[in-house]
Structure 1
Amino acid sequence: MNEDPRLREGLSARSPPGSAAVDVANGVYAALDLGTNNCRLLIASPAGDGFRVVDSFSRIIRLGEGIAATGSISEAAIDRAIAALSICSDKIRYRKAKRLRLIATEACRAADNAESFRARVASETGIKLEVINRETEATLAVIGCSPLLDPRGRGAILFDIGGGSTELVRIERDPEANAPPRIKAWMSIPLGVVTLAEHFGGRDVSADSYARMVAEVAQYVAPFAAEHARDISDMHMLGTSGTVTTLAGVHLNLMRYDRRRIDGVWMNNSDVTAVITRLLGMSYQERADNSCISIERADLVLAGCAILDAIRDAFPLPRLRVADRGLREGMLVEMMREDGALRAC
């Protein structure tokens, strides 16, 4: 794997000459995150101490559907991914993005046919995917979400609940010093909402099956918590995932999902418990009919809640801050800092 941040794979020969090179004369950057469940794209230009979003795209594609059972990405999932990535490729070209990072995560780390899948993606869409390791995934999540750290606190337990894996990071900062936050420790759990729902069932979730999901995740979290759950006073939870943004939308009783009201919202521990209890009391159809969940997440959201509950049990912190941001924002900030378009901190 190529870990040099200056040498990213990008669009293939189908793209305009130089599009994969570090040529940022027009100041347009693109970050693509092909996950086990979602395909997300963010195109932006530097603006002041941050960036201005030029275009974006997000679609649930369930790339990792069935991988746990078969070991391979299915043809149906490949077709869904290529359809979404074709839209992303068109957007990148239309916006004339010159600095790209196009990543794939757990599904492409785990699948036996990941290499042939990537080759087909490159051939049909022009997108050359970089499969990142779990440490890089955790680092990018921290970069993307660190602006939401409480400036008066000592740090956070950040978690990113994905489709095929979950990253858990202890971030520390000194509120008395003007120093950037640092990663104290991190771990990756080989369980996400897709893999957990496929194993335990996601449509009809009983109290017993939910408890078994929590117990399964807790086995992975326990060693990390034994070492890093001490001395967490003045810290908070910081969550980035479809699970926590969905919980926040339900908590706020939104008629439709609104990122402006979700990103950065605080939830008390009792708020989180109340929303999860509410979801556990819903039928599959009731979850599907909820505009903040929809049919796309109705069979996954309780698996995500189980992962969150296992983390909450291990790190009993009173507050959770919700982040509707993550890997894409982390990639954009990292690239812009490397190019001197943003101040490194």
Structure 2
Amino acid sequence: MKIGTIDIGTNSMRLLIADYKNNKIENRKKYINITRIGQGVDDKGYITEEALERNLNALKEFADKCIEEKCEKVYCMGTSALRDSKNGQDFVNRAKELTNIDVKIICGEEESNLGFMGVLEGAGGDKSNYILVLDIGGGSTEFIVGNEDGIKFCKSENVGALRMTEKFITTDPISDEEFNKMSDFIEKTISSTLDKIKGMHVSKLVGIGGAITSLSAMNQQLEVYSMEKVHNSVVTKKDLEKILQNLKKMTLSDKKTIKGLQPKRADIITAGVKILHIVMEKLEIEKIMISEYDNLEGLICQNSKKMS
């Protein structure tokens, strides 16, 4: 069966089209559009009309793609920005009218579950040890600890690459003062979650989400993004610190020329990388494995298992 899954994130909208056969996901194709539905949500509390229009148009394009690819089912989820905005339901209603797609606004816990499910789907090797899955999005960061038997702990924190950039960064290049204020805020916000994770004997850190996959692409200096090269790639803390030091010094126009980084993500990448740096530093973890299987694959698994 051919299935389409759509994730309307704070910073980007993503589409996965894949075949689901014999309980396996095959022939994966992913599409991404940086649509920023969350622009200003933290500050104003609602999605602007401009952002609504932009995202409705992007969703229509994805819906048409699903029709073109003959998807038998299409599932769509909305995450942090739609959760937090006062007019999220307005978007859901207009999306249904325009595309006939039901957008389900999911809570942080469900987002965590789907991300974890997707990671396990794409993971090879031993799945019995506890892993920490970290999903750094535009509006929030999900922390999930578990193994093949299920999830032991999960928490969604309101620190994301777009949210932190909007809240703290006004200078270009970023001033030390703003960078330090942002770092302190992230650290304070996630410290109790990290304290809980410390005692859980996590054997591996796996990262998903745009900031983390971009970090891998930058580390490999990929001219053209490749799911195959990013999936199961490893970034060490040393690699990450080198990239972070460079990002801090660069202007926005310089960042837009970095190999492996989408120009539309350039303004928020420093915040995303810093969130990861704090997590690795505090948990004393030396490397992160990157997964290209995430909540989009998780959404296929969840719905396919319901049908079978």
TM-score normalised over the length of structure 2: 0.92
- What is the Cα deviation at residue 225 of structure 1? 2.0
Q: Please list the CA deviations of residues 42-78 of structure 1 after superposition, one character each: whole Å capped at 9, or x if unmatched.
A: 1221235522236542101000001112111111111
Distance, in Å, in 2 between the alignment partners of 1:222 and 1:303 is: 17
Q: Structure 1: which amino acid aligns with 2:247? A: L
Q: 1:111: which partner in 2?
A: 85
Distance, in Å, in 1 between the alignment partners of 2:21 and 2:128 is: 27
Distance, in Å, in 2 between the alignment partners of 1:290 and 1:228 is: 33
The one of 282, 299, 303 aligned to 2:250: 282
What fraction of aligned residue pairs are identical, expressed as a percent? 23
Q: 1:46: which partner in 2?
A: 20
Q: 1:168: which partner in 2?
A: 143
- What is the Cα deviation at residue 167 of structure 1? 0.5
Instruction: Output aligned runs, 1:10-159, within 5 Å.
Output: 27-48=1-22, 50-53=24-27, 55-146=29-120, 147-148=122-123, 151=126, 154-159=129-134
Contact 1:149 / 1:156 at 8 angstroms: preserved in 2?
no
Stretch of structure 1 that moved more, 207-216 or 33-42: 207-216
Q: Structure 2: which amino acid aligns with 1:99? A: K
Stretch of structure 1 that moved more, 196-205 or 321-330: 196-205
Q: Structure 2: which amino acid aligns with 1:223? A: S
Contact 2:75 / 2:102 at 8 angstroms: preserved in 1?
no
Q: 2:207: which partner in 1?
A: 239
Instruction: Output aligned runs, 1:281-300, within 5 Å.
Output: 281-300=249-268
Contact 1:218 / 1:310 at 8 angstroms: preserved in 2?
yes
Q: Structure 1: which amino acid aligns with 2:302? A: E
SS at match of 1:289: coil
Distance, in Å, in 1 between the alignment partners of 2:23 and 2:107 is: 28
Q: How many residues of Structure 1 are paired with residues of Structure 2 in the alignment? A: 306
Distance, in Å, in 2 between the alignment partners of 1:231 and 1:132 is: 26
The one of 174, 190, 207 aligned to 1:221: 190
Q: Structure 2: which amino acid aligns with 1:213? A: M
Stretch of structure 1 that moved more, 38-47 or 188-197: 38-47
SS at match of 2:16: strand
Structure 1 residue 315 and structure 2 residue 289: aligned? no
- What is the Cα deviation at residue 271 of structure 1? 1.9
- What is the Cα deviation at residue 28 of structure 1? 1.9
Distance, in Å, in 2 between the alignment partners of 1:269 and 1:181 is: 29
Distance 1:189 1:93, change over 3 A: same
Contact 2:134 / 2:144 at 8 angstroms: preserved in 1?
yes
Distance, in Å, in 1 between the alignment partners of 2:256 and 2:194 is: 34
Distance, in Å, in 1 between the alignment partners of 2:131 and 2:97 is: 42
SS at match of 1:107: helix
Structure 2: tracts of 5 or more residues without a match: none
Q: Please list the CA deviations of residues 16-56 of structure 1 after superposition, one character each: whole Å capped at 9, or x if unmatched.
A: xxxxxxxxxxx122211111111111122123552223654
SS at match of 2:112: helix
- What is the Cα deviation at residue 182 of structure 1? 2.3
Contact 2:173 / 2:249 at 8 angstroms: preserved in 1?
no
Distance 1:205 1:251, change over 3 A: same
Contact 1:155 / 1:181 at 8 angstroms: preserved in 2?
no
Distance 1:181 1:279, change over 3 A: farther
- What is the Cα deviation at residue 259 of structure 1? 1.8
Distance, in Å, in 1 between the alignment partners of 2:123 and 2:176 is: 33
- What is the Cα deviation at residue 96 of structure 1? 3.0
- What is the Cα deviation at residue 149 of structure 1? 6.5
Distance, in Å, in 1 between the alignment partners of 2:29 and 2:213 is: 21
Structure 1: tracts of 5 or more residues without a match: 1-26, 174-179, 341-345
Q: 1:207: which partner in 2?
A: 176
Stretch of structure 1 that moved more, 316-325 or 53-62: 53-62
SS at match of 1:196: helix
Distance 1:248 1:228, change over 3 A: same
Two-structure CA RMSD over aligned residues (Å): 2.0
Contact 1:245 / 1:262 at 8 angstroms: preserved in 2?
yes
Structure 1 or 2, whichever has the larger Rg, is 1
Contact 1:42 / 1:53 at 8 angstroms: preserved in 2?
no
